[in-house]
Amino acid sequence: MFFGVTILIVFAVLAILMMTQKIHTIVAVFILTMATALLAGIPVKGTDGILASVIEAGAARLASAIIALVMGGWLGQIMNRTGITESTIRFAAELGGDNKYVLSMVLAAGTALVFTAVGGLGALILVGSMVLPILTSVGIPPLESACVFLLGFATGLPVNIQNWAYFSTLTGVPLDQVRNFAFVLVGLTACATVLFILVELRKTGSRSYFSTSPVQAEASAGKPPARVPFYAVLTPIVPLVLVMAFKWPITPALLTGIVYALVTTRPKAPFDVLVRTAHEGVENAAPAVLLLIVIGMLLKAVMHPVVTAGLEGFLKAVIPSTRMGYILFFAILAPLSLYRGPLNLFGLGSGLAAVIIGTGSLSPTATMGAFLAMERLQVAGDPTNTQNVWTANFVGVDVNQVTKKLLPYLWAVAAVSAACSGLMFF
């Protein structure tokens, strides 16, 4: 019990340091890894020691997820460079017209579609630079525009198959179960997006916050809009179909999507585009790859027999043993997924999830469902996210305002998602 309380205190201290931006997430996770291993008494050397079984083995623990992340980044850069991303957003803008409700929903849907395949801050900047001015040009205030964009981003992300690889590798749950629950999350987040638009945009006027949208500006400058064949816009769907319908592994499915994008858009010097975007994809994925490497080390530390034995009593005393307790526990504590906290799978929660599974406090599927439910609050609401920071800065609002505006909607999504997880997996 003492060991569990001590680790929880370390969690809390590191969360506060990240919350106050005193320490980077990668550094915090590595410190937690070493603190866990040393406090548990794992020896430094030896086959079961820190150097070999934690650092060396941990660096490769999430190798399959890292490869999927890099391939997904490559596909995203192909879509950006060939004009697929831009054409998707422009089509959504034209379809939406000038009605702010329709336009918001269509652009949110277009953003969601893009991020089923694209990832990384570079892609977010590209899409946001087009979407946000269009939203503000029809009278949607900057804060609400930022929220609509982030909700669209959050809606598409659960079915981004490079994330499926991470969740499956982290929890040991088969890919099809991750996929099935991911579509539940998409539906719930889409409902929250529609509700946000209907409720929050009623409070706004008709003022234009940016003088012209990117579409209007390019038209007035005589610049032809980027166009690709309509079937090229289906690029992000191709890997999804291959994985879901034909049971392909993720990496070849993503590679097929890359080839499909090149064949359908036929860029000049296609091999040059292929190589250049490969480099850009690796560069774009690098920060996330580094985070996954240290998360892998943390996983090896917390799954060490010495650590799981030390935490078993503490977690069994804290984690609910009934379905209703499970639902209420995660629904109420969902904000602990903010600031890379203990319920955040892209922060300190990656280690906690492994410990919960390792000690048998919850089944792998119940753990996966709970933490993916918590990810709904984190993905668009965490002020430490690069997507939140960039979006808030672009529209000129404080990043914490975005969190406050989205909190009731995302918390509700996380709570309902936890209930769905309880019914499906507990």
Tens-place pLDDT, residues 260-271: 999 999 998 999
Q: Which residue has the higher pLDDT, 33 or 209?
A: 33
Q: Is 42 left (phi over 0), alpha (psi -120 to 50) or beta?
A: beta
Q: Please tell me which of 72-81, 233-242, 370-379 the model is most confident about, judged by mean pLDDT.
A: 370-379
* Per-residue pLDDT at 190: 97
pTM: 0.72
Q: Is 322 left (phi over 0), alpha (psi -120 to 50) or beta?
A: beta
When pLDDT is averaged across residues 417-421 and rounded to a whole number, the result is 97
Contact 54, 301 (CB under 8 A): yes
Contact 398, 353 (CB under 8 A): no
* Per-residue pLDDT at 29: 83
Is residue 66 pLDDT above 80, yes or no? yes
SS3 state of residue 178 = helix
Q: Which of 125-134, 326-335, 378-387 shows the lowest per-residue confidence on average (mean pLDDT)?
A: 125-134
pLDDT digits (tens, 9 = 90+) for 185-201: 999 999 999 999 999 99
Q: Quick one: how far is CA 202 from the chain centroid?
A: 29
Is residue 85 pLDDT above 60, yes or no? yes
* Per-residue pLDDT at 236: 78
* Per-residue pLDDT at 122: 64
Q: Which residue has the higher pLDDT, 93 or 259?
A: 259
When pLDDT is averaged across residues 143-172 and rounded to a whole number, the result is 90
User: Which residue is it, tokens 């794992």?
Assistant: 42
Is residue 244 pLDDT above 60, yes or no? yes
When pLDDT is averaged across residues 300-320 and rounded to a whole number, the result is 80
Q: Quickly list DSSP for 349-385.
A: HHHHHHHHHHHTSS-HHHHHHHHHHHHHHHHHH-TTS
User: Which residue is it, tokens 């010097």?
Assistant: 269
* Per-residue pLDDT at 422: 95
Q: Which of 74-83, 229-238, 365-374, 383-392 shows the lowest per-residue confidence on average (mean pLDDT)?
A: 383-392
Contact 42, 307 (CB under 8 A): yes
To the nearest whole number, what is the mean pLDDT of the chain? Answer: 84
% helix, strand, coil for the chain, step of 5: 80, 0, 20
Distance (Å, rounded) from C-alpha 169 to C-alpha 172? 5
Q: For 47, phi and psi rounded to 5 degrees?
A: -65, -30
Task: Name the percent of the chain lying above pLDDT 90.
Answer: 36
pLDDT digits (tens, 9 = 90+) for 367-416: 999 999 999 999 999 887 878 888 888 788 888 889 899 999 999 999 99
19 Cβ contact partners less than 8 Å away, ≥ 6 residues apart: 339, 384
* Per-residue pLDDT at 212: 46
When pLDDT is averaged across residues 104-133 and rounded to a whole number, the result is 82
Is residue 25 pLDDT above 70, yes or no? yes
* Per-residue pLDDT at 218: 47
317 Cβ contact partners less than 8 Å away, ≥ 6 residues apart: 1
